Structures are given as structure tokens and as C-alpha cells.
């Protein structure tokens, strides 16, 4: 009974980790898209290559 519960717990943990990693990939794609959009908007709207498109 204990080994079965351990296997089920391991499957649950791995499923949760896989879901979390997939969610993190989607968040990373969204952040990259927003960053690229900000890069394009700032570089075209504020005077071309001389404008700063970063905040740091």
C-alpha cells in the first residue's frame, strides 16, 4: 500500500511540475512579446536609434 501511495504522490508531483514549467514558458513568451513591442514602439516613436529603449 505504501509503495503505491509513493508512486501516486510522485506522479502528482511530476504532473504539477510539468504544468508549472509549461505555464512558466507561456509567461516567458508573453513577457518577450511585450518587451519586443516596447522596443519597436520606443525606437520608432522617439527619434530612431538615438532613443533609449531600456530603463536600467
**pLDDT per residue rounded down to tens, the chain (56 residues):** 888 888 888 888 888 888 888 888 899 999 999 888 887 777 666 555 555 555 55
Spatial neighbors of 39 by CB under 8 A, at least 6 apart, are 53
Q: Is 44 helix (H, G, I), strand (E, B) or coil?
A: helix
Query: Domain limits of the chain?
Result: 25-56
> Cα separation of 13 and 21, whole Å?
12
**Is the distance from CB of 51 to CB of 42 less than 8 angstroms?**
yes
> Cα separation of 53 and 42, whole Å?
6
Q: For Cα atoms 11, 14, 19, give the angle at the middle one, nearest 5 degrees.
A: 125
Q: pTM score, two decimals?
A: 0.58
Amino acid at each position: 500500500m505504501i509503495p503505491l501511495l509513493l508512486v501516486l504522490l510522485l506522479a502528482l508531483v511530476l504532473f504539477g511540475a510539468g504544468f508549472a514549467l509549461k505555464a512558466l514558458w507561456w509567461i516567458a513568451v508573453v513577457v518577450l512579446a511585450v518587451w519586443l513591442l516596447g522596443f519597436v514602439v520606443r525606437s520608432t516613436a522617439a527619434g530612431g536609434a538615438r532613443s533609449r529603449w531600456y530603463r536600467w
